[in-house]
Structure 1
Amino acid sequence: MPQEDSGTPAPAGAADRGEPAEPSDGIGGPQALFRVSGYRPGPDGTELSMAVGPWLDGVGGTPAVGALGILADDVLGRPVFVSRPPGTHLVTFELSVEVVLPPPWVGPRLLATGTVVAIDAARGLSRCEIVDGTGRLVATGRAHLRIVPAGWSQPEGIRASTLTAAADLSARDTLGPAGSTGAGRGGPIVVPNRPEFGNGSGAVHGGILFCGSEQAAAAADPQGRLTTASVTIHYLRRADLADPVVYEVQPEHQGRSVAVYRVTARGSGGRPCSIATVARTVR
């Protein structure tokens, strides 16, 4: 999703959905990475699915809760997108996912259903449920989206080579080299810019920032005993795709059974693009 930046934090946050001709035309690098597809309006709301496979693996080789970021971000935004007032854009201010059933998840696909809770001229609220291949509830999600006047350029088409390259990545790659080496515990994690993380408008997709923030917290877990129970992220400004993203992790609490991390993603000039709270618990 493109992200707004006028030199100060955007009032609505960072995750602008642009103005695609059709809501179904949403396959880019992030969706190819996590095999997110199958958009359709369903009887209970907007439906979108994600295939289960090794692309969900994060730091330590275990499936990453952060991998739900693209699926949740897209399915929460689309029902508001189609209901928004004419001549407007959406920017996601807050995205939250609560885990009901920790990974690994049963495939072959996870199915997400998103519905509008409320919408007016200024904002939209939506929620979603995600179930596994057996119909068990995996996670719930919610989003707060701001509605702003249109005026940004239409997203560019995604190159086929970008989609192919994205399909070779996994959740751990949202942390760059640190995702494979296990580095980053206690120090900033610098993620080089990658076209595969873009949304077609020159910005990092909000779901990628969600995944990177969750994975940065997982990498900071000193003993790896905990699993992520929830992630809430606030988008402040766009993360330009041309610049590296730096994740800074601040442990707010590290106990034997629960831990809470504050993860700040910084872009150009060291300015914060998003701030996430990641809660991890013993399961």
Structure 2
Amino acid sequence: MQQTLTTQPVPYFHGTPEVAFGMEFVSTLGSTAQGAMRPGAWADRGDGRLHQGCIGVLVDNVTGYAVLTARAGDYWAVSSAISIDFHAPLTAGTQRIRCAASLDHRSGGWGHASGRVTTDDGELVATVSQRLRFVPGFPAGRNEPDEPIDTPSSLPGLDSLLSVTEARADGVDLRLIPVPGMRNPIGTLHGGVALCASEMAAHKAWALSPEHPGEAFHTASIRISYLRPGDLDGALTLHVTILHASRSVVLADVQLRNPGGEVATRALCTLHRSATDL
């Protein structure tokens, strides 16, 4: 049964992932949240476009804060699933990317929010949603002082964060290179960083596939589930399997695994041949 929604302001925490991924302030009003990011050279994938997964931290934060407006006073929330459908490419040189989201539902310890990602001139980039689970207490990391909002990102090029360890006929295995800016306030891998890494891993696996037709592809959608915290105190790996491939559509399964081999996140990425863009 859906509960009556009583909203409250959410204090914004600007940590190292927010700095790394160019986040600006996230504000809440009623049951809504909005924020923006400034992508830098670190997000460029070298073909005139940005890595689409670079919006992961922005989407995770803004949809998450929209859900947090419905939390009980001493509760926080953790990600369960994020969904993104892309409607336009992100071109290199984009100055600012915005996200706005609204709380849709709160019931039985869970909350859901959905929203839109746009460029500064209002072009729709993506429609997004997130489901979160409410948990008691605040993350210990929220007691740390915020990073200054205007701190420049020191993130290296996103491509440098993934290293291929094995190429298979149906996919690849990769290692996620840890850098400052990956930890959330709980001390584990930020959900938006996991989404970004998964999106890039799917692209890399398809680019290395013997079935790749030699034409450009872009991400049409990503659905990622958060199964357990990502442990940054050891080597995180990504295992990508190409489930389907044709000249126009590719479906990739991406498992991000903890040092012990447990699956931390699992994503389904759909890629479309860019020549079929609207």
- 1:165 to partner: Cα distance: 8.8
Q: Does 1:236 align with 2:224?
A: no
Q: Percent identity?
A: 26
Q: Does 1:52 align with 2:39?
A: yes
Structure 1 consecutive aligned stretches of length 4 or more whose deviation exceeds 6 Å: none
Q: For residues 216-227 of structure 1, what are the structure 2 equivalents within 5 Å?
A: 216-222=201-207, 223=214, 225-227=216-218
- 1:86 to partner: Cα distance: 2.6
Task: Give the equivalent residue in structure 2 for 1:250.
Answer: 241
Aligned with 1:193 (options 165, 178, 192): 178
Which structure has greater helix proportion?
1
Per-residue CA deviations over 1:56-80 (Å, capped at 9, x if unaligned) read 2247674111111000000000011
Q: Distance in 2 between matches of 1:36 and 1:263?
A: 26
RMSD over equivalenced CA pairs, Å = 2.9
SS at match of 1:252: strand
In 2 relative to 1, CA 126–245 (structure 1 residues): closer, same or farther, beyond 3 Å? same
In 2 relative to 1, CA 140–195 (structure 1 residues): closer, same or farther, beyond 3 Å? same
SS at match of 1:207: helix
Q: For residues 87-166 of structure 1, what are the structure 2 equivalents within 5 Å?
A: 87-104=74-91, 107-150=94-137, 153-155=140-142, 157=144, 166=153
Verify the 8 A CA contact 2:227 2:264 in the aligned structure 1.
yes
- 1:237 to partner: Cα distance: 0.3
In 2 relative to 1, CA 59–149 (structure 1 residues): closer, same or farther, beyond 3 Å? farther
SS at match of 1:112: strand
Q: Distance in 2 between matches of 1:159 and 1:77?
A: 18
Q: Which runs of 5+ in 1 are unaligned?
A: 1-20
SS at match of 1:196: coil
Counterpart code for 2:11: P
In 2 relative to 1, CA 50–165 (structure 1 residues): closer, same or farther, beyond 3 Å? closer
TM-score w.r.t. the length of structure 1 is 0.81
Say which is worse superposed, 212-221 or 189-198, in terms of deviation. 189-198
In the alignment of these two chains, the number of paired residues is 257
- 1:156 to partner: Cα distance: 5.5
Q: Which runs of 5+ in 2 are unaligned?
A: 1-8, 208-213
Q: For residues 3-82 of structure 1, what are the structure 2 equivalents within 5 Å?
A: 23-25=11-13, 27-41=14-28, 45-58=32-45, 62-82=49-69
Verify the 8 A CA contact 1:218 1:224 in the aligned structure 2.
no
SS at match of 1:124: strand
Q: Distance in 1 between matches of 2:180 and 2:38?
A: 22
Per-residue CA deviations over 1:69-110 (Å, capped at 9, x if unaligned) read 000000000011122123322111100111011121673211
Per-residue CA deviations over 1:166-199 (Å, capped at 9, x if unaligned) read 5242332442x45xxx986733101233332111
TM-score w.r.t. the length of structure 2 is 0.82
Q: Distance in 2 between matches of 1:220 and 1:234?
A: 20
SS at match of 1:268: coil
